[in-house]
């Protein structure tokens, strides 16, 4: 502070006073800033709770009126039926799980492989080109991908599999894989890069080649990060709406064939919420779908958290 | 600290700006006529609105689609001035309109023949109404059952907010659509999907597949439809077939307003029904108002 050197006592005490006040002012400022950030942190939780309670209160009237069996015991979803409205969401749930699973089957090997290449093999110049390219991939709007699904993937699938059209679960899976790739690649790459150099050096010293080092040492050590990246990619795939809405055909029939048209939960909400009169059974039933979707993503996050913690413990 | 202050100022300014953006359009709302609804009608009404705005520099119209159901819901929620609808209001909607004090006022401004389209490579050129109903109900699943080459029929239809979806169902299916029908987001999407799919069949408003010279757009084939096996088949490509009612799946294209309009709104309706307006209808591939609906219009205008 440079105040101690003052010669006169009065000035000294005065300066002490000022310093004290300044300190006090700073402490108030500190507390205020701390509280400000606390409120920010809490607001995330508050918003989450708010969304959950909104979903639940809007979904509850339909559950009370129709019973849970109507939703989970039937595969026919047709609220605007000519004869009798049906609200079975099983086929919608299965459809969502199909495209998500399909997307992961494509994206995980591709994504982890790409991450391994970038972190272990690629030269610096290749890296400099690859990384921004992958980031640009993340910036493609979902509606553009959906459009590509219609005009590009659709005829390609029908050509390869010899079927009349390609608006099906496979199309959705391919597009969702493209969407979740950037997440999986960049987070997996971070995890692989964080593996201590000494691990690799030890492996090499024991006579392992680069491939063995990668598969037996680097990837297992980075596994928690890789799994987290996969889970985040999965979260992206489950909740994605526009792409699947455009590319999967939207036929609500129950199927487990990837070459059939399907209708996911998100697409159902997106299609029907815009036209449904408020506070009718159909309206509340759409919130039931939203609630189930919310619970599903919540579970995915919970499981990934548990896995992450387990692996971190093992590492220690 | 200084930074924080600047940040807070910027935040406040931002909020004020957003507030202004939200408040702004509401203040202008009076002079802007909102038209919303049917996807079958949207291109046609957009064209009508463009010409009307050229002739009346003071008038502003915003025409959007979304489906007949969406348009009617907007009319009931009082968020649109005109609801385009390719079907009539159902009982539920009338009841809801009554509840909120909206008095639906209907005019018919064009005639549509819902066109049944297939891939050009499909040898089928005519279907009965009964066959069409069975195909879309999922009771006929293979083209060979109606005389074509063996291939699983691939159905393309609209989503439930579409007036075309409802009208087609009431007239031909009298039951539910097959759950294997792919629900597309609009007429244009069905046309594009049918072009790519050799085993496809779909239904769209005639304006999406026929131009003003009575030619079918390339890439699709419009099939003839007959009332039953003994009658003659007609297609909606010739406007005359729609206008005379010979083509069996024709329907009036409606607009609903909240009560009899006045001012610019009324001028726009008058323009649509004028000779010039009906000529635009023709240019867009649709047929003008049929005689029996002119009667309704006359009654509504007086």
**Do B123 and B243 belong to one domain?**
yes
Number of domains, chain A? 1
pLDDT(B2) > 60: no
Distance in angstroms (rounded) separating the CA atoms of residues A50 and A310: 30
pLDDT above 70 as % of chain A: 96
Asked, for residue A49, whether it belongs to a domain, the answer is no
- Residue A153 pLDDT: 95
**Do B125 and B201 belong to one domain?**
yes
For residue A252, the chain B residues in CB contact (below 8 A) are 179
Three-state SS string across chain A, please? Answer: CCCCCCCCHHHHHHHHHHHHHHHHHHHHHHHHHHHHHHHHHHHHHHHHHHHHHHHHHHHHHHHHHHCHHHHHCCCCEECCCCCCCEECCHHHHHHHHHHHHHHHHHHHHHHHHHHHHHHHHCCHHHHHHHHHHHHHHHCCCHHHHHHHHHHHHHHHHHHHHCCCCCCCHHHHHHHHHHHHHHHHHHHHHHHHHCCCHHHHHHHHHCCCCHHHHHHHHHHHHCHHHHHHHHHHHHHHHHHCCHHHHHHCECCCCCCCCCCCCECCHHHHHHHHHCCCCCCCHHHHHHHHHHHHHHHHHHHHHHHHHHHHHHHHHHHC
pLDDT digits (tens, 9 = 90+) for B33-68: 999 999 999 999 999 999 999 999 889 999 999 889
Instruction: State the ipTM, two decimals.
Output: 0.77
pLDDT(B193) > 70: yes
Question: Does the CB of A167 have a partner CB in chain B at under 8 Å?
Answer: yes
Which residue of A154, A253, A277 is in closest CB contact with B180?
Answer: A253
Asked, for residue A273, whether it belongs to a domain, the answer is yes
Domain that holds residue B208: 115-248
User: Do the Cβ atoms of B197 and A164 come within 8 Å?
Assistant: yes
- Residue B23 pLDDT: 45
Asked, for residue B14, whether it belongs to a domain, the answer is no
Q: Which residue of A lies nearest to B69 if distances are taken between CA atoms?
A: A275
**Do B170 and B295 belong to one domain?**
no
**Do B227 and B182 belong to one domain?**
yes
**Do B224 and B190 belong to one domain?**
yes
For residue B181, the chain A residues in CB contact (below 8 A) are 251
Asked, for residue B25, whether it belongs to a domain, the answer is no
Domain that holds residue A90: 77-315
For residue B178, the chain A residues in CB contact (below 8 A) are 253
Asked, for residue A30, whether it belongs to a domain, the answer is no
Q: Residue A296 sits in a domain of what CATH number?
A: 1.10.3720.10
Asked, for residue A34, whether it belongs to a domain, the answer is no
Asked, for residue B119, whether it belongs to a domain, the answer is yes
**Do B41 and B83 belong to one domain?**
yes
Asked, for residue A108, whether it belongs to a domain, the answer is yes
Q: Residue B160 sits in a domain of what CATH number?
A: 3.40.190.10
User: Do the Cβ atoms of B181 and A251 come within 8 Å?
Assistant: yes
Which residue of B151, B179, B199 is in closest CB contact with A252?
Answer: B179
Find which of B143, B170, B179 to mutate to test the A interface (most A CBs within 10 Å of its CB): B179
Asked, for residue B22, whether it belongs to a domain, the answer is no
Asked, for residue B106, whether it belongs to a domain, the answer is yes
| Local confidence band at A311 (pLDDT 50, 70, 90 cut-offs) | low
pLDDT(B164) > 60: yes
- Residue B75 pLDDT: 93
Distance in angstroms (rounded) separating the CA atoms of residues A21 and A30: 14
Asked, for residue B264, whether it belongs to a domain, the answer is yes
Q: Quote the minimal CA–CA distance from B236 to chain A in Å.
A: 26
**Do B225 and B127 belong to one domain?**
yes
Asked, for residue B208, whether it belongs to a domain, the answer is yes
- Residue B24 pLDDT: 42
Number of domains, chain B? 2
pTM above 0.90, yes or no: no
């Amino acid at each position: 502070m440079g105040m101690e050197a003052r010669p006169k006592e009065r000035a000294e005490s005065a300066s002490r006073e000022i310093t004290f006040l300044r300190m006090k002012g700073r402490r108030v400022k500190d507390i205020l800033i701390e509280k400000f950030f606390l409120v920010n942190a809490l607001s995330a939780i508050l918003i989450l709770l708010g969304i959950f309670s909104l979903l639940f209160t809007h979904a509850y009237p339909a559950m009370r009126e129709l019973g849970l069996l109507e939703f989970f015991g039937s595969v026919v979803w047709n609220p605007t039926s000519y004869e009798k409205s049906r609200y079975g969401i099983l086929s919608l749930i299965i459809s969502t799980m199909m495209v998500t699973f399909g997307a992961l089957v494509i994206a995980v090997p591709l994504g982890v492989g790409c991450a391994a290449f970038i972190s272990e093999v690629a030269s610096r110049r290749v890296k400099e080109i690859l990384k921004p390219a992958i980031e640009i991939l993340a910036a493609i709007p979902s509606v553009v991908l959906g459009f590509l699904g219609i005009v590009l993937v659709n005829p390609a699938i029908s050509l390869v599999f010899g079927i009349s059209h390609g608006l099906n679960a496979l199309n959705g899976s391919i597009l969702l894989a493209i969407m979740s790739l950037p997440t999986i690649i960049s987070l997996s790459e971070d995890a692989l890069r964080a593996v201590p150099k000494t691990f690799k050096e030890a492996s090499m010293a024991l006579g392992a080649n680069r491939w063995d080092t990668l598969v037996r040492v680097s990837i297992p050590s980075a596994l928690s990060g890789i799994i987290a990246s996969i889970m985040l990619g999965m979260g992206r795939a489950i909740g994605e709406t526009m792409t699947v809405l455009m590319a999967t055909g939207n036929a609500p029939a129950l199927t487990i064939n990837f070459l059939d048209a399907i209708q996911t939960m998100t697409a159902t909400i997106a299609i029907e919420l815009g036209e449904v009169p408020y506070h009718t059974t159909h309206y509340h039933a759409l919130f039931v779908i939203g609630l189930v979707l919310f619970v599903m993503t919540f579970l995915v996050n919970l499981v990934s958290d548990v896995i992450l913690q387990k692996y971190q413990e093992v590492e220690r | 600290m200084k930074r924080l202050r600047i940040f807070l100022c910027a935040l406040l300014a931002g909020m004020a700006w957003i507030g202004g953006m939200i408040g702004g359009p509401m203040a202008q709302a009076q002079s802007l006529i909102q038209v919303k609804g049917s996807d079958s009608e949207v291109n046609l009404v957009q064209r009508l609105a463009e010409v009307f705005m050229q002739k009346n520099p003071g008038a502003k119209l915003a025409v959007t689609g979304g489906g007949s159901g969406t348009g009617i819901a907007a009319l009931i929620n009082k968020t649109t001035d005109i609801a385009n609808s390719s079907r009539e209001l159902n009982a539920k909607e009338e009841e809801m309109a009554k509840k909120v004090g909206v008095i639906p006022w209907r005019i018919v401004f064009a005639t549509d023949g819902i066109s049944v389209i297939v891939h050009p490579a499909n040898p089928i050129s005519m279907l009965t109404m009964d066959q069409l109903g069975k195909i879309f109900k999922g009771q006929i699943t293979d083209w060979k059952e109606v005389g074509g080459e063996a291939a699983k029929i691939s159905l393309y239809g609209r989503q439930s907010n579409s007036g075309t979806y409802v009208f087609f169902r009431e007239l031909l299916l009298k039951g539910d659509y097959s759950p294997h029908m792919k629900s597309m987001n609009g007429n244009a999407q069905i046309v594009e999907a049918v072009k790519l799919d050799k085993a496809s069949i779909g239904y769209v408003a005639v304006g999406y597949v026929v131009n003003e010279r009575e030619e079918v757009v390339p890439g699709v084939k419009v099939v003839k439809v007959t009332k039953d096996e003994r009658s003659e088949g007609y297609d909606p490509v010739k406007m005359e077939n729609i206008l005379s009612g010979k083509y069996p799946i024709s329907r009036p294209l409606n607009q609903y307003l909240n009560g009899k309009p006045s001012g610019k709104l009324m001028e726009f309706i008058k323009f649509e029904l004028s000779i010039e307006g009906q000529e635009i209808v023709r240019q867009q591939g649709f047929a003008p108002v049929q005689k029996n609906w002119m009667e309704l219009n006359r009654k509504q205008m007086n």
